[in-house]
Structure 1
Amino acid sequence: MLVLVLSVVVLLVIGGCVCVFWAARGDAPRWARGVAKVTLLGSELARSASRKSSSSQSGSGDD
């Protein structure tokens, strides 16, 4: 079951990356541009969450 869920997630990520590439070329339909925006928003959220967790870990070290 876990393999199935991870496979679906990987396929969604790959599809989002394809839509980002397609939209960057400029000839993508409206739905692909929407998927690309959602993918880029998700990557920004993941990046900001990663920054927050790494900054909290580096600031909480023992002396």
Structure 2
Amino acid sequence: MAVLVLSLVVLLVLGGCACVYRTARGDAPRWVRVVSRVTLLGSEAARSLPRSSSSGRSDSDE
């Protein structure tokens, strides 16, 4: 089940990247531009999330 969910996530990411590429070329229909915008907004939201320090390394280990 987890493999199926991860596969769907990967397919969605690849599809979003393809839409961003096609929009950047300038010959994209409206629905591709919408998917591209949603993809870019999602990436901005993911980048703005605070990073967790779950790597097991504390600040004193540096």
Q: Which category of TM-score, normalised to the shorter sequence, fits these structures?
A: 0.7 to 0.9
Tell me the matched-pair count. Answer: 56
User: Within 5 A, what are the aligned runs for 1:38-49?
Assistant: 38-49=38-49
**What amino acid sits opposite 2:51 in the alignment?**
S
Q: Give the aligned CA root-mean-square deviation in angstroms.
A: 1.6
Aligned to 2:13: 13
CA shift digits 1:4-44 (9 cap, x unpaired): 00000000000000000000000000000000000000000
Considering fraction of residues, name the structure with more helix. 1
> Displacement, 1:45?
0.3
Q: Which runs of 5+ in 1 are unaligned?
A: none
Query: What is the TM-score of this pair, normalised by structure 2?
Result: 0.82
Question: 1:2 & 1:46 partners in 2: Cα distance?
Answer: 21
User: Within 5 A, what are the aligned runs for 1:1-63?
Assistant: 1-49=1-49, 52-53=50-51, 57=53, 61=59
Query: What is the TM-score of this pair, normalised by structure 1?
Result: 0.80
Return structure 1 stretches of 4+ with deviation > 3 angstroms: none
